Amino acid sequence: MNQMTVRIPFVDLKLQHLPIQTQLQQAINTTLERGDFILGRALSDFEAAFATASGTKFGVGVASGTDAIALGLQACNIGYGDEVILPANTFVATLIGVLRAGAKPILVDCDPQTALIDLEAAAKAITPQTKAIIPVHLYGQMVSPRQLLDFADTYKLLIFEDAAQAHLAERDGYRAGSVGTAAAFSFYPSKNLGAFGDGGMLLTRDADVAQKMVRLRNYGASQKYFHVESGTNSRLDTLQAAVLLEKLPYLPEWNRDRLTIAQQYDDELAPLAASGIMPVQNQSGSGHVYHLYVIKVNESCMSERQQIQDKLTAEGIQTGIHYPIPCHLQPAFTYLGYQQGDFPHSEKLAKEILSLPMYPGLSSSQIKEVTLAIARSVSTTLHPNQSPVSVGSKAA
């Protein structure tokens, strides 16, 4: 889509940053004045602040969310010969992180209503080599911590959370990053808490895991020029940490704004349920932080997902698909041995889901424009015996 034709963007970072532009510039200037660009003060301050905000003890900043998974699993002593369970419908970074750690990924299907990992399917995939499970807190909603903890206790598994989309999400009295032994976060610019480039962090309550992670991210060194691990170079830049530290106090407000937006979407789209348009189910109430607002265009809908997306595009409304191809069907990973049909819920969702514009500051009138555009795209292809739906109030 030509940028000039976009009326409602999928994400609007400029709108989010404008009110705090002065503070962000000052945070950058302070780092420039200090000159501590690698492992500097802003990084250690942000690591501590984000860990505290997330309800755990230690934070270790790294270069990306993918590194947080790969190095984090190694810090938890997960590697060669170990099997790690993860969902098939996640961004490939989760899978790549497991592979980079040297472990064997074991994919399982998801719950078709929430798109979160199906723990019953996970239970069937356990073998004597299974050492960990990675629950992906997808779209901003956590996998139930109570169920996860019971599952891990039953099967004696380590919980390693992929919380890349779930900054300060809550469920069952836990915050994302505080449930398992460790958790990986991404600070990609469009995340709920985003940097001005790539960045990631491992959170953990285990001091030994944190210390090993500190070594792994910095060439495996316990002190300068003394290397006790086969590590790498993966450090969250001090400049990025300074930006994130400045933005962190605003995150609860931004998350509340996302929830309000999601609730209006729910209300506006409710009349379209009979036409096959349904949001991915929220089972977390106000604890869902809605990194993405995702609807399903199910098989009862008279319009196909692509038709709806194309019509929204034509009206200047950007959308996304998260994700169009499940991990097991990606060409790069055919060697893992999975085939079409192995995970039917993930495969079906990949054909149905559509992510709508979602960001702090998205106005009520813009939300209504999006939902009216969806209603029009459905109504133009109604079966002759169907009646057009009215968007804007919940179905009776």
Q: Which residues are catalytic?
A: 191
CA dihedral 358, 148, 162, 187 (to 10 degrees): 50
**Burial status of residue 282 (CB atoms within 10 A of its CB: 0-12, 13-18, 19 or more):** buried
Residue 68 · residue 185 · CB < 8 Å: yes
Work out whether the CA dihedral 43, 47, 49, 53 comes out positive or negative. Answer: positive
What is the CB-side half-sphere exposure of residue 264 using CA atoms within 13 A? 19
Quote the strand ranges of 56-196, DSSP E: 58-62, 83-87, 104-108, 130-133, 158-162, 170-171, 174-175, 182-186
Q: How many Å apart are CA 333 and CA 23, to the nearest integer? A: 44
- The amino acid at residue 102 is G
Measured distance CA(144)–CA(174) in Å, rounded: 9
Query: Helix (H, G, I), strand (E, B), or coil: what is residue 62?
Result: strand
Among residues 295, 297, 288, 296, the alpha carbon closest in space to that of 260 is found at 288
Strand partners of residue 226? 223
Q: Which residue has the tokens 């057009």?
A: 388
Cα 207 to Cα 74, 285, 315, 393: the distances in Å are 14, 32, 52, 51
